[in-house]
A = this chain, B = another copy of it.
C-alpha cells in the first residue's frame, strides 16, 4: 500500500492533458446563455499553415475551446506542389475527429484578396470549393448562398494598411448595404484595432477575436508567461453548432485576449458582474471598513479612478479574493473604471461595487 501511494505522489508531476481532455477555462455563463469559447480563424497545411488539421482539434481541446473554424486560404496555397488543392480537405479530415471529441467544428474558408476588400472568412459553409471563383463579389455571393457568416479579418493588418487603421472603402459600403458583413475581428494574432468598436456599433457587426494561427499554437502563446490565445466568447442558447450560429448572427459576443475583454457594454457589464461578488464587511475600525471582492474568473480586472476615501486603483486578481480597505464614512456603491474592459474606441467599462 505504501508503495502504491508513493508512486501516486511521484506521478503527479507528469500529468498533462492528453487526447480527449479539455481544459476548463474559468469564465462564467450569462443568465440564459452558455459561454462558448471559439476561434474562427485557423490555418493548416492545406494553405500556408504548418500542421495537419487534426492537430487543430487537439490544440483547441487542450486550450479549453468549444468551437473552431479551420479557414484555409482559397487563393494562397503555397504547398500545392506537394499537396493537391482541395478546399474541403481539412473539413473532411477533421469532421469525425471533432465529433468524437465533442468539439464543435465549423466549416469555413478564407477569401483572400487585396485591400479593399481584404480578407474575409466565410463561416458555416457547406462546400468551400464553390467559393473558389475569380470575382470576389461572386465568392461572397456563393458563400451567402450557403448561409455563410462573413467575417472581415484583421481589418487594419499592417501588411495591407501600413498605419494599422481599418478603413471603410466603397467595396465595404456595398457589402454592408447587401448585408454581407456580419462580423469583424478586434483581436487577430497579436494585433488589435480600436476602431473596430466603432464599426460594430455603427453597422451592428458581431465582434470577434481569433488566433489566425499558422504554426504551433502552444509556441505562439507559451505557458506559463502567457495566459491564453485570442478567443471569441459567444453567448449561445445551447452548446451546439446551430445555437452557436444563431448567436453569431445575433451579435451576442465578447472578445478575450491576454487580460483584455472587449465588446458591447450590453454584454460586458453583466459579464463583469457574473465574474465578481462583493462580500459584506468582515472588519471595521473607527477609521476603516474592510471587505472582500471575489473574482471567480481567469481574467484579472484593473479598477481605476476610485474617488477619495477609497483606493485609487484596485487589481482584482484572477481566481482570487481581494481585500479592500476603504474609509469608514465611504458611500456605497464604490464607482470605478475597469481599465481592461474595452467598450468603445475610447471607452472602458464603468462599474459599481456594492454588497
Chain A residues engaging chain B, CB cutoff 8 angstroms:
1-2, 4-5, 8-18, 20-24, 26, 45, 50-52, 54-55, 79, 82-84, 86, 89, 93, 99-102, 192, 194, 215-216, 218-219, 222, 224-227, 258-260, 282-283, 290, 292, 294, 296, 300, 302, 315, 317-323, 325, 339-340, 342, 345-346
Supply 14 further A-B pairs (C-beta < 8 A) apart from A1-B345, A15-B259: A5-B194, A5-B342, A8-B340, A17-B320, A24-B296, A45-B45, A51-B52, A84-B84, A99-B283, A100-B325, A102-B292, A102-B323, A216-B216, A216-B218
User: Which chain B residue shows the least CB distance to A6?
Assistant: B192
For residue A345, which residues in chain B have a CB less than 8 angstroms away from its CB? 1
Q: Which residue of B lies closest to A46 (CB)?
A: B82
Say yes or no: A283 contacts B323, CB within 8 Å.
Answer: no
B residues near A319, Cβ cutoff 8 Å: 23-24, 26
Q: A13-B14, A52-B51 are in contact. Are A346 and B1 (CB under 8 A)?
A: yes
Known contacts: A15-B300, A24-B321, A102-B283. The answer to whether A8 contacts B50 by CB under 8 A is no
Beta-carbon contact of A302 and B11 below 8 Å: yes
- Which residues on the B side are within 8 Å of A192 (C-beta)? 5
Closest to A15 in B: B300
Looking at the assembled complex, report how far the CB atom of A70 sits from the nearest CB atom of chain B, in whole angstroms: 14
Q: Hey, which chain B residues are within 8 Å of A224, CB to CB? A: 224-225
Which residues of the other chain, B, contact A89 by a CB distance below 8 angstroms? 82
Q: Would A283 and B50 count as touching, CB distance under 8 A?
A: no
Closest residue of B by beta carbon distance from A323: B20
Q: List 8 A-B contacts (CB under 8 A).
A: A12-B300, A16-B222, A20-B322, A21-B321, A21-B323, A23-B320, A55-B215, A82-B89
* Complex Cα gap A93–B14 (Å): 35
Q: Which residue of B lies closest to A292 (CB)?
A: B102
Interchain nearest-CB distance for A298 vs B (Å): 10
Please indicate the chain B residues that have their CB under 8 angstroms from the CB of A315 in the complex: 15, 18
Task: Please determine whether B22 and A320 come into contact, CB atoms closer than 8 angstroms.
Answer: yes
Smallest Cβ-Cβ distance to A226: which chain B residue: B13
Residue of B nearest to A259 (CB): B12
Q: Name the contact of A323 in the complex, choosing from B50, B101, B222, B346 (C-beta under 8 A).
A: B101
The complex places the Cα of A319 from the Cα of B319 at a distance, in Å, of: 13
Contact at A82–B82, with CB atoms within 8 Å? no
Measured between beta carbons, the chain B residues less than 8 angstroms from A50 are 51-52, 54-55
Instruction: State the CA gap A84–B82 with chains docked (Å).
Output: 7
